[in-house]
Structure 1
Amino acid sequence: MRKTDGLFKLLGLCLLAGILVAGVLFPIVGAAGVASNRASETVDSMSAELANVPPPLVTTITDSAGNPIATLYDQYRIPTAADQINDAMKWALVSVEDRRFYEHHGVDWKGTIRAALSNSAGGETQGASTLTQQYVKNYLINVIYRDDEVGQKKAQEQSLARKLKEARIAIQLESKMDKQQILTSYLNVVEFSRKIYGVGAAAQAYFGTTAEKLTVPQAALLAGMVNNPPFYDPWSHPERATERRNLVLDRMVENRKLAPADAERFKAEPLGVVPDGPSKPAANCTGAGPENGFFCQYVQDYLLTNGMSKEDLYTGGYTIRTTMDQNAQHQAKLSAEAQVRKTQKNVANTLSLVRPGKDRHEVVALAANRDYGTDASKGQTTYALPSDVSNVTGAGSSYKIFTAAAALEQHKVGIYSTIQTPQSYASRVFVSGQKPGCPQIGRGTWAYCLQNYGESNYGPSMSLQQALATSPNTGFVILEEQAGLGAVLDMARRLGMRNTMASNAANGGAVDPGNKNPAYSMPQQKYYGPGGISQNGLGAFTLGVSPTSGLELANVAATIMSGGVWCPPTPIMGVSDRDGKPVQVKEAACEQAVPEGLANSLAVGMSRDDTDGTSRGAAQAAGWTRPMIGKTGTTQESGSAAFVGATPQLAGAAMVFRPDSPVGGLCDGQGNVTPCSNGNMFGGKAPARTWFGAMKAILGDQPALPLPASDPAYEH
């Protein structure tokens, strides 16, 4: 480069520095003009954002006792106060990034001119941004524009306009914050690579320590990284990181914050970072582990459904205390695994437990035989098996609860009334397609024919209470005719199957109005009902052939045991924000779903399943002696099965089904269930054993409370 070129360039840079100084001081000396006013408004606006937009923090989820079980975050950050940061860290950062930090007022004019002179003369490239300016830039990139690539690029562009704006904001900040506040704020917002932000998180992730206990070489390594975190990543580039750390140590010596001999001794030390990458918690519910992950997932789903955004959940720094009882969760997991191995392909065994109550229905456990996680080779899954509408095959005869409740409400029958239970039945109300042996009742329509399983076990009639225990199919289809399928469907929704009835009839997913297949385009409430795909509806609904949520089925039992009061199955005990202040969660209000007398009478009607009904064998094997309500269910060809039951203290539902390929049966084995073509599964087998095994252990020595008394209005 010719000397004249260098001279002109030097003069240009000096002029540029002068313009920058004038531009920064322009609003301070009160210069007028529209451009100045607009610029000042922009600076004021951005300064306000820096003050009012808090940095993303980690949300912590705990069990009911307050023990952390998971963390949710976009940026791993541990807020750290000034007195919690080692002086070595502060001086290491100041020495390498802004030696005159305590002398300037936001912009280092000497440094700016020196850098311009050095860079123009072809010497070592030097930066001129102060820590205050860097704080502004990092806040824009890591906080305000964290999800905005365009905004991030603008916050880093090499332009006079950007530098001018940044400098003006820095000067404003220095008038509002002292040096200690700025330095601490910078150390809480800056990135240290791999989604680790702030010195508190970096100290933990890199060295397994706190910011207060950082050693000088550890602090030097972290201070050196802020210049270019990926480039100086100690795991990916240990040689670069070492060289950069040693440079910081030299700068500390130059700044008289470290003795030369100590610096040389520290340079000889290894980096000392934790092996195999940073040590930080999982950023989502996988961190809850194989046992608690399903509960964590439901907490997230529940909050997102009830008004909280995912961004807020993952950046808000909330503490979410859940209703999960750790002992109940553990016992539920053990019992589910005792019936079906966790690695068994295409078999899920779930157990959902809800505490009854007239003001809240708290979810205490959500478990499955399969572990929660992302390793499919180990049988893990992140699909919400215990809480979502995940059993697409259905819960079988447990749906007869809704038919019984609808008939009771209309006083078509009482719990001790005799109902007809013929060995076989041809319904002329619920028509179907052609079926061998079924009478044709119209052009292109045939009667809906069905029969009871194990015909010799049933007489032509029995009481409704006995029918609920022994589960004859024909009797409940006849009751369904009498009550009307619309009323039965509405009862299912009222008692607790809210999401289930709103989901589609094909796979339990969201309804797709644009799909030509009615199984996908209609909610179950409409699909099975009158005018859906059949004039009078599909009578098979009472036999439990539709996609089902195990949690909602458990909540049905909780509603019955709560005197007919439905409440949303909540996993939330309380939420507090980053400052410890309580946060109100939007939750549906409890409702008197059915009259209390009806609910109490239905409970009495369901009270014999464990003594002389379909779950008797499982109850006896568990040594069960408590009063309870119960109902088993099994679908066609034993493709899935369920057991729903409750005591006054706790309600629950267990379901075994094929989650990956639903077509086919299930075979009950010794300590395992396997997919098979000719199934032998029943609700009184693996599901009932799962329910009794967990409930016996959870209730322990709690008193055996009696069931409520029936209401005479619903007895006959």
Structure 2
Amino acid sequence: MRHESRLVRMLCAAFLAGVLLAVMVSPVVVGAGLLANQITDSASRSSDDVSLAGMSNARMPAVTTVTDRTGAPIAYLYDQYRLPVSFDHISNAMKAAVISVEDRRFYSEQGVDPVGTLRALLHDSGGGSLQGASTISEQYVKNYLINVIDRGDPADQAADRADALGRKLREAEMALRLNRDVPKDDILAGYLNLVEFSGNIYGVGAAAAAYFHSTPAALNVPQAALLAGMVNNPNLFNPYTHPQQSVDRRNLVIDDMVATGALAPARGAAAKTAPLGVVPGGPTLPGGNCLAAAPDAGFFCDYAVSYLRQAGFSIDQLDTGGYTITTTMDPAASAAVKAAVERNVPSAQPGVANTFALIKPQDGQHQVLAMAANRNLGTNAAQGETSTNIVADPSNVFGAGSSFKIFTTAAALEQGTVGFNSELPNPGSACFTPPVTNRYTPCYSVANDGAGYPDPISLQNALATSPNVAFVGLESAVGLPAVLQMAQRLGLRHTLATNLAGGPPITDPNDPRSADPRYNQPQSRYFQNLLSFTLGDSPVSTLEMANVSATLVDGGTWCPPNPILGMTDRTGRPVAVNQQPCEQVVSKGLADTLLAGLSQDTKSGTSAAAAAAAGWNRPDIAKTGTTNQSESVAFVGAVDGYAASSMLFADGRRPAELCPGPPVHLGDCGSGAFGGTVAAPPYFQAMNQILGNQPDQPIPAPDPAYLDAGQHGAVVPFTVGQPEAAAVQSLTLAGYQPHTVPIASPAPAGQVIGQTPQGNVPAGAPVTIYTSTTRTVAP
């Protein structure tokens, strides 16, 4: 009997295959000349376009999970909310329910229902609408084409749904091949992972979570019957919008389960009396992007996604890949930072943003631990939300004030213009001649903010108390090109590539701003003749300023601020993430000397009063900054291996002076706010909590080679941004040995994007230049 039944199935499958072949070869067999185009269309989009072996969970769009460094989820990224599971992790009730209502002969047929399909073919050839009779295999094929293969092509999706014989033939042919190549259990699991349940919910894993806060393995009979019934028409049988139709459909599925013997009649009767049991107010599913992240994680999540985009991952890959992205975010540190900035400036405070970034150099990386602001990532401006990443981007368009004096000092130490023991001329006011002038060029007039500064002033005292005249004079002596290069080398990579509005340079000739140097040039070019650069009056990124401190405490080694600890695919296998290599951008001796020079700000400098009020007495480095009209204030510091930046700036449509708080607010308060009075307190508060009882690390002593002014040897040519050939020539002519290493990058192919070492490097030494090549990331 068993052999006869198997023979019948094989004969039926062979018969249908013959019918399908005959129809494909000669449409007139069914008397429908109009079918010729449909069948030709079907052949052109046949199973040759789709690898049946690839019809698996591995290609289905799945949810990507973004976690903090402990593995706790902070956000989900998805196009289709789908949580694929294996056959063994789906309850028997769910398997029985869908087979009973959709395809009772699933385990006996060969992927098609010969009688039903032939009936549909004959009916269609007579002019009627295409009949049903689709098996689970055929539905799997259809849904796979719609939701996976063609999900980005509405025209092809329409063809996949078309009430046409060509489409039905294609599905039948592919279903036959699918059953030949793929085990039945895998087909059933694939189908249950694929189908739509309404509201962007796809697959039984997502449906169990969204409708019942459960898992596929735990679905009971009423729950399984409800979900199986929804497959036929997810909108009509939605339990929230059509509860009675949903109950009726569920009970019909239960009756079918009883009829097939999958469920005893008594259990079926009891199951039909159960309430719907769905979660109240649902279905519940997480947001599908970083806007849904927790308030202290939104900007971090957004930066992690941007970082991966720069590494070569597409939005589609991230939204459909089912990855687990483990970020470097420290939840305790992020919570401490978020609390500190909100205590300083409440989220909904109009017109004032307080941003904060925290980085820790470790394991050969600059790991980002926290990125937070009083604002939250979102779209509700009335609640203090912003859709711009104000921590990572150069969103502080007013600048970081005197904290930019770090770059002038570093360039001067490298050139030997000054040493740690040097004294700087510091009159109360002065007028300096820009590097490039004509007879109409005025001198640049600058004055110190208040009296009482010594003249001359020691370099360390100048860094602590920040007189403007001393540093503009030093900048003039060193030269703006060297200062701008130093800012780029130490960390302002993205910042200096933007224009004076903090965006990409505008080159579209139809945009009137394209003729204005403020908008058509990157800052690295715009400030070549503007001595105001050292006073920090240009757009800047809070994150990049924190990384400047990280570069100094890391012995002069720059690394990209990295938010990614690790990444795995949906099977748990590691996924490589391209990262630009670290670079030795200044000598360790110079970095140590500059750290020593910055070590007095919280002791006797501009932030000393705030430090004392916070009970702060740790050895650290710091530099504050305040713009002329106090629209922006900054604190940049480092302590015990951590590097941080706290910035406040006017972010409303009518920017004005920042006034001390709490809360810090806009107003006309005379002297206004300062970096040491309102940007420093969040740093002390957050770091006191983060460090706890951690032992202090001493600040390095100045390197003896940099104590006094004088040459420190050759300075290697800075070649970043040049074509490879020009960079090699420049380094060779200067007596160095260039070595080229191509790395994946979004920069133009062949452009130098990195160089190591830089600065005071003995002639004849090898120098590695990193050149951009095409970036590729496997799907």
Question: Do these two structures clear the TM 0.5 threshold for a shared fold by scoring above it?
Answer: yes
Counterpart residue identity of residue 470, structure 2: G
Distance change in 2, residues 1:488/1:357 (3 Å): farther
> For 1:508-527, what aligned pairs fall within 5 Å after superposition?
508-514=502-508, 515-527=514-526
Counterpart residue identity of residue 197, structure 2: F
**Matching residue of 1:620:** 612
**Matching residue of 1:349:** 354
> Is the 1:415–1:465 contact (alpha carbons within 8 Å) kept by the matching residues of 2?
yes
CA distance in 1 between counterparts of 2:21 and 2:197 reads: 30
What displacement does 1:78 show?
1.3
CA distance in 1 between counterparts of 2:159 and 2:668 reads: 61
Task: List runs of 5+ in structure 1 lacking aligned partners.
Answer: 1-16, 29-34, 432-440, 530-536
The C-alpha deviation readout for 1:235-277, integer Å capped at 9, x for no partner, is 2222322232222223223323234454444334332211222
> Is the 2:336–2:690 contact (alpha carbons within 8 Å) kept by the matching residues of 1?
yes
**Matching residue of 2:310:** 305
Counterpart residue identity of residue 171, structure 2: E
Q: How many residues align?
A: 676
CA distance in 1 between counterparts of 2:70 and 2:363 reads: 22
> Is the 1:358–1:562 contact (alpha carbons within 8 Å) kept by the matching residues of 2?
no
**Matching residue of 2:772:** none
**Matching residue of 1:45:** 49
SS of aligned partner of 1:132: helix
**Matching residue of 1:9:** none
> Is the 2:16–2:114 contact (alpha carbons within 8 Å) kept by the matching residues of 1?
no
Instruction: Find out whether 1:484 has 2:488 as its counterpart.
Output: no
> Is the 2:435–2:479 contact (alpha carbons within 8 Å) kept by the matching residues of 1?
no
2:328 pairs, out of 323, 329, 336, with 323
CA distance in 1 between counterparts of 2:128 and 2:24 reads: 34
> Is the 2:636–2:645 contact (alpha carbons within 8 Å) kept by the matching residues of 1?
yes
Distance change in 2, residues 1:592/1:662 (3 Å): farther
Counterpart residue identity of residue 379, structure 2: T
CA distance in 2 between counterparts of 1:203 and 1:103 reads: 28
> Is the 2:300–2:329 contact (alpha carbons within 8 Å) kept by the matching residues of 1?
yes
> Is the 1:85–1:211 contact (alpha carbons within 8 Å) kept by the matching residues of 2?
yes
Distance change in 2, residues 1:290/1:583 (3 Å): same
Counterpart residue identity of residue 445, structure 1: T
Task: List runs of 5+ in structure 2 lacking aligned partners.
Answer: 1-13, 26-38, 509-513, 709-779
CA distance in 2 between counterparts of 1:20 and 1:178 reads: 20
Instruction: Find out whether 1:360 has 2:365 as its counterpart.
Output: yes
Counterpart residue identity of residue 254, structure 1: A
CA distance in 1 between counterparts of 2:640 and 2:674 reads: 25
> Is the 2:658–2:664 contact (alpha carbons within 8 Å) kept by the matching residues of 1?
no
**Matching residue of 1:156:** 161
> For 1:107-186, what aligned pairs fall within 5 Å after superposition?
107-113=112-118, 127-186=132-191
What displacement does 1:378 show?
2.1
Counterpart residue identity of residue 366, structure 2: H
> Is the 1:356–1:648 contact (alpha carbons within 8 Å) kept by the matching residues of 2?
no
The C-alpha deviation readout for 1:403-422, integer Å capped at 9, x for no partner, is 11111111001122010111
Instruction: Find out whether 1:701 has 2:693 as its counterpart.
Output: yes
> For 1:247-286, what aligned pairs fall within 5 Å after superposition?
247-286=252-291
Instruction: Find out whether 1:590 has 2:562 as its counterpart.
Output: no
**Matching residue of 2:554:** 562
**Matching residue of 1:493:** 488
What displacement does 1:110 show?
2.1
CA distance in 2 between counterparts of 1:242 and 1:121 reads: 37
What displacement does 1:97 show?
1.2
The C-alpha deviation readout for 1:572-624, integer Å capped at 9, x for no partner, is 11111111111111111100111111111011111111111101011111111
> Is the 1:289–1:373 contact (alpha carbons within 8 Å) kept by the matching residues of 2?
no
> Is the 1:403–1:479 contact (alpha carbons within 8 Å) kept by the matching residues of 2?
yes
The C-alpha deviation readout for 1:139-171, integer Å capped at 9, x for no partner, is 111111112111211111122222112111111
SS of aligned partner of 2:51: helix
Give the TM-score taking structure 2 as reference length: 0.83
CA distance in 2 between counterparts of 1:192 and 1:560 reads: 54
**Matching residue of 2:463:** 468
What displacement does 1:700 show?
1.3
Distance change in 2, residues 1:430/1:691 (3 Å): farther
CA distance in 1 between counterparts of 2:502 and 2:667 reads: 21
**Matching residue of 1:691:** 683
SS of aligned partner of 2:434: strand
2:381 pairs, out of 359, 376, 379, with 376
Aligned-residue Cα RMSD (Å) equals 2.6
Give the TM-score taking structure 1 as reference length: 0.90
CA distance in 1 between counterparts of 2:590 and 2:363 reads: 15
CA distance in 1 between counterparts of 2:631 and 2:74 reads: 34
> Is the 1:119–1:126 contact (alpha carbons within 8 Å) kept by the matching residues of 2?
yes
**Matching residue of 1:605:** 597
Q: Percent of aligned pairs with the same residue? A: 50
SS of aligned partner of 1:624: coil
Distance change in 2, residues 1:177/1:40 (3 Å): farther
What displacement does 1:124 show?
13
The C-alpha deviation readout for 1:447-473, integer Å capped at 9, x for no partner, is 11110101x221221111111101010
